[in-house]
Structure 1
Amino acid sequence: MRLQIVTPDRAVLDQEVEEVYAPGTNGEFGILPQHITFLTSLDVGVLRYRAEGKDDFVAISGGLTEVLDDSITVLADAAERRDDIDVDRARVAEEAALEGIEELLPGTPEHDDCLASLRRAQNRASVAGISAN
């Protein structure tokens, strides 16, 4: 199967893979060869794929996934491969989001934005911390 991950800014990955597991808005889903055609939305989370017998990981921040004829296309709002994540930058973003959450009134759009930023930063830090197999 061919996995392509693209964001509005760049192509993140274009690789032959054996399987993919991704964070859907209704829960994690898996894709194996000859999967039925489908289109689904993505949540913030970890996309895991297996290529040449080894797992690798991408931090995903929303988007869509289309499966068609053994081709998987991920149109992500944001995506970073594990090895490309700047852990220090993720930690700074996490701290800034936590400060915003403490300072802002719960239920406001700004507070909700900080919660979403915190979730994305924690996801990036989590993916960066996954060891290679």
Structure 2
Amino acid sequence: MAERFELKIISPDEVFYEGEGTFLEFVSVEGEMGVYQNHIPLTTILEPCVMKIHNESEVKKAAILGGFVEIQKDKITVLAEDAQWPEEIDVERAKKAEERAKERLAKKDGIDILRAEVALKKAIARQNAVK
């Protein structure tokens, strides 16, 4: 049996997830990360991504749309800008958001490129969570 850690994912509206895990996968601004219990303490910024919560052979996926993660030896806390389970995601809406973001990026005239890039990452994360 793998060693477990406590995991809490908090969004502005709710405690999105609270439970145990044996491995956690996500994308930070520093790249893809995987965390087991007894990981070196670390705080990092999350990119919009699909977070995978492993608990033995079970894997839960969630779209995490930015935020922070604090890793301690036996506890991980995620402060998410927004978090959604795959069944909560409107795939058609996410596809349309992706198209709009790509159009805004292609124009490059007077728009906020950074906002369009973030919107694109969020739309892609939502779609990937459903896959």
* TM > 0.5: yes
TM-score of the pair, normalised by structure 1? 0.82
- Residue in structure 1 matching 2:61, options 57, 76, 81: 57
- Residue in structure 2 matching 1:37, options 34, 41, 66: 41
User: Does the CA-based 8 Å contact 2:104-2:111 persist in structure 1?
Assistant: no
- 2 CA distance for matches of 1:29 and 1:63? 15
Deviation at 1:18, TM superposition (A): 0.9
Listed as ranges, the matches of 1:13-92 within 5 Å are 13-92=17-96
Deviation at 1:52, TM superposition (A): 4.1
Which amino acid in structure 2 is aligned with residue 76 of structure 1? Answer: A
* Count of residue correspondences: 127
- 2 CA distance for matches of 1:36 and 1:112? 31
CA deviation profile, 1:24-50 (whole Å, cap 9, x unmatched): 111111111222222111112221111
- 2 CA distance for matches of 1:125 and 1:118? 11
TM-score of the pair, normalised by structure 2? 0.83
Q: Where do 5+ consecutive residues of structure 2 fail to align? A: none
Over the aligned positions, Cα root-mean-square deviation in angstroms equals 1.9
